Amino acid sequence: MCGIVAYIGRKQAIPVLLEGLKRLEYRGYDSAGVGVMDGGLKVARAVGRVRVLEEKIDETGGLPGTLGIAHTRWATHGGVTEANAHPHRDDRGKGHGIAVIHNGIIENYAVLKKYLEENGHTFTSETDTEVLAHLIGELYRGDLEKAVQAALREVTGAYAIAVICEKEPDTLVVARKGSPLMVGVGNGEYVVASDSSAIVAHTTQAFTLADYTVAKLTRESFRTSTIDDVEITPEVRELEFELAELDLGNFDHYMLKEIHEQPRALRMCLQGRIDVRGGEIVLGGIAQHARTLANTKRIVLVGQGTALHACMVGRYLMEDMAKIAAEADFASEFRYRNPIVDFGTTIIAVSQSGETADTLAALQEAKQRGALVLGIVNAVGSSIARETDAGIYLRVGPEIGVASTKAFTGQVMTAAMLALFIGRRRYLSQEYVGKMLGELAAIPDKIQRVVDASDTIRSIVAKHVERENWLFLGRGINYPVALEGALKLKEISYIHAEGMPAAEMKHGPIALIDSGMPAVFIATRNSQYEKVLSNIAEVRSRGGHIIAVATEGDGHIGTVAQDVIYVPDAPEQLQPMVNVVPLQVLAYHAAVMRGKDVDKPRNLAKSVTVE
């Protein structure tokens, strides 16, 4: 949603803050701002990307100081204006020089704002965050930590905040509930950020704040407590990745880099987890629940966006290989539907960031109703990872591009391992599992061959990139792949695209077909291949331009499709990991050709941490 960085130490704060904001810009890029303490509070804010803020700071001669806070915004409350940019301050006339940055939503801001206005406070923005600044100022009695604790006891909603105060120029107070926040622990310095990408350049030691936790940081020490002032001891751990993983290298965009990283990322996902010869899967994170999973009656996979599409593939895998009734559900709808969670129900929450607000709320609802809740996430120590009973980390490395690529294939790979893990304890033979594990191990090399065909895909895209309406169609386990292909195209190129089951097309959407309309079919050889060919014929007879993703060696597909993207053969259950890659590449080239910002598409942020 928004990106938070804060620093206290002996270095100049501005270089650390600006570098951190650039690494977090994928979380929001409507506006940005900094607040630095140097004999008083100095604030700079600007509409636009972080570079605009950087230029503004340079024009004013810089902002010296070794304590500061910074924020890059994705607008929720209030439009994209400098007045709404963070940091927000308490009253300049009667205030204490308090500045606040915030990620989240204060749900009871209207009630608090009315109370504060009645007590003489004047507001200058449309944001809910400004309420926090005034409330902390109203409760300040010479101790910033206690004022923050008292204010947060009155707040309903989600927040990750960093607060500084002119009257305590050597103190940084941060807190979290519902929105992610980490504290990097260095030598005489602390770097606070929404995620580890802004920390790893300065230290490899960090702790994640738990919900309702406040941390008071000075250059000499830190103290963590609950908002009720009960002191707690956080777990300081080693960060999971290195700074080099965040560099673009020779790539033009993070999305392209992450597409190319998929073979290596999936090998890391598999490493140490599969024994092809022995037909065994080792998933240490869920081992203690193996018997419960073998006896589970129903599995519900929940996620949002790309993660939901991975859930949909997971549903097919669970039913086919684990032989368990399975569903895939929007996390945002799950808890509002009064869902039935019977004895024997297992919920699997899928999220790259591990911070997706809707998915987190869904799993909390499921736990409340007595379900076993597992997580499939990428970010170690994230909220979902901590809230679930057990889980499996993707281990695909940091994903910076807003449009998810390697996380999706990692989620599907993990779902496949989990389905085989459960199925082996139910009905699957050791021979079958060993064979499928061998096929899983071959997927990275097959994806590499697709990535190497990027130029062929680019030439196909070039013929259709000006078309404003596309269809993506698939059947069976490849239907979610069609949805994912459509999502990728529309989220980074702004082309209207729809994904749907190929058989559904005849029940209305076929009316959309006009001359030359691009229709992308997932037409690899599998149990529904002949049916897909019939659907292709129906679209082509109405003037649609067929782009087929087909199996290498398929000599027939070229007679029914005008353009063909060939992919290596794979078992039907594993085809989505291979078939989605040409659609990722297609979307990437379309966005580049149309001059769009591939890594930072309009209106989108990488991690949606508020409902």
Annotated catalytic residues are: 2, 606
3-state secondary structure of 373: strand
Q: How far apart are CA 331 and CA 303, in angstroms?
A: 5
State yes or no: cis peptide before 87, omega within 30 of 0. yes
Tokens 């959309």, residue?
512
Residue 251's contacts (CB-CB under 8 Å, 6 or more residues apart) are: 257, 260
Could you tell me the CA-to-CA distances from 288 to 283, 285, 293, 350, 374 in Å, in that order?
Answer: 10, 8, 10, 20, 12
- Are the beta carbons of 181 and 169 closer than 8 angstroms? no
| Residue 382 structure tokens | 């994230």
Q: DSSP assignment, residue 253? A: S
- Are the beta carbons of 82 and 46 closer than 8 angstroms? yes
CB atoms within 10 A of CB 488: 28
Overall residue count recorded for the chain in this entry: 611
3-state secondary structure of 303: strand
DSSP letters spanning 320-372: III--EEEEEEHHHHTTS-----TTEEEEEEESSS--HHHHHHHHHHHHTT-E
Could you tell me the CA-to-CA distances from 84 to 81, 87, 88 in Å, in that order?
Answer: 5, 9, 8
